[in-house]
Amino acid sequence: MEAIKQMVVIPENHRIVLEVPEYIESNQIAEIVMIFKGKRSKRKEKIKDLSLAMKDIMFLNDMKKIENDFENIDNEGW
């Protein structure tokens, strides 16, 4: 068994062509594994974090404390 690593940048058309070295015999079975090292989009990451925050007990407790701290101010007229 032999492993060959090739790093590529994903093109706009999302198609990758792999070149197999000449010394590899034809008609062999090759296993192709794709590992992506990119980042999630910042927008998607923020939306996911915000949705997780609404279930986070510590976050909800902090929000409740802030709400209680400003309760009197919120009731005052401007």
- Taking only the tens place, the pLDDT of each residue in 13-67 is 999 998 899 999 999 999 999 888 876 678 888 888 888 888 888 888 999 999 8
pTM equals 0.42
Closest CA to 10 of 38, 33, 32: 38
Cβ count near 33 (within 10 Å): 5
Q: Can you give the pLDDT at residue 13?
A: 94
pLDDT surpassing 70 at residue 74: no
CA distance readout (Å), 61 to 55, 64, 72, 78:
11, 5, 19, 28
Q: What is the DSSP letter of 33?
A: -
Q: Taking the domains of the chain in order of start, what are their residue ranges?
A: 42-75
Could you tell me the sign of the dihedral formed by the alpha carbons of 51, 56, 60, 66, in that order?
negative
Q: What is the token pair recorded at 24?
A: 């590899």
